[in-house]
Amino acid sequence: MNTTPQTQTALARSVTAEEEPSLDLYPGRGLAKLHLAWKDITEGARLYRLSYALGWLDIRLRYRGSMLGPFWLTLTTAITVAAMGTLYGTLFHTNLRVYLPFLSFSLILWAWLNMVVSDGCSVFSNAHGMIHSMRMPLSVHVSRICVRALLTFLHSVPVIAVLFLIFGITPRLTWEIPASLIVFITDTFAIGLLCGVLGARFRDVSPVMASIMQILFFITPILWRPELIYLGRQYMLLDPAYPLIEIVRAPIMNDHIRPSIWLAALFYSAMLWGLAVILFARVRARISYWV
């Protein structure tokens, strides 16, 4: 979401002198490209307060003048879970005490992931004004959409909390919860960076990714539980979205995670980060010209 020049100036002034980024657009050669790209990412991480301010500003501007504001997301999530949970729970002959919390958490996690993908495809295009007028790491704009997606997710958390209290579901407090959240959050950044680079160069990436995400929504266990496919459940690991969502969902739903799911999640995470960083390093100096 674009901001006004006055807002951009105010946010730029919020960055103190010692935090002022040094953006080097020199393309470099060989390993120098990777060094400059990684420097861009680390300097963008150092400006986390700016990323948070921009993400929160996007939320406020999106719901400016609304009576409930961002809590329309909470209400929409509650209505969606109630309607879809009753329908699909009946179709799948599933116990609603188990299915409703599963469906609510799955839909909210998927909405988080889908928002990063959809916004990531146009992250640099939408921020062209700031890219052309301000000297800051390009990764800040990716962090901005990740913060925006995280804040949107947090507004739907009350629905999950209420359902967990009603149906007596207690998360397993193990190392898996913080570890899975770290993997998920860092992977969303890599997804946003990869989609942003591709979307800046090819405008067709946005509809292509929308179609891919729609297909993944139906083949990934979001509306249906993974236990419904027993003999072929190992083949679900070929779906990159399944391990990423399952490592977060299972411990919070008090379910156990198979080691193969963790291995698949870490494998896809390494592949995703490697591809995102290499591609970003290769074209980073050209993004400002593409947008």
Largest CA distance in the chain: 61
What pLDDT does 16 receive?
A: 41
What pLDDT does 212 receive?
A: 93
How many CA within 13 A on the CB side of residue 233? 15
What pLDDT does 15 receive?
A: 46
Which tokens go with 133?
């007028």
Distance (Å, rounded) from C-alpha 103 to C-alpha 225? 9
Distance (Å, rounded) from C-alpha 203 to C-alpha 291? 10
pLDDT under 70: residue ranges of the chain: 1-30, 65-70, 230-234
- Which residue, among 41, 42, 187, has the nearest Cα to 117 in the 3D structure? 187
What pLDDT does 123 receive?
A: 92
Distance (Å, rounded) from C-alpha 236 to C-alpha 240? 9
| pLDDT tens, residue by residue, 179-204 | 999 999 999 999 999 999 999 988 88
What pLDDT does 280 receive?
A: 93
90: part of which helix (H) or strand (E)?
helix 71-91
What pLDDT does 181 receive?
A: 93
CA distances (Å), origin 70, targets 58, 65, 94, 264, 280 = 11, 11, 32, 35, 33
What pLDDT does 136 receive?
A: 86
Distance (Å, rounded) from C-alpha 243 to C-alpha 110? 12
Q: Report how far Cα 183 is from the mean position of its chain's Cα atoms.
A: 11
| pLDDT tens, residue by residue, 61-93 | 877 766 666 677 778 778 888 787 778 777 777
What pLDDT does 67 receive?
A: 67
What pLDDT does 114 receive?
A: 92
How many CA within 13 A on the CB side of residue 59? 23
CA distances (Å), origin 219, targets 11, 104, 205, 286 = 42, 17, 21, 36
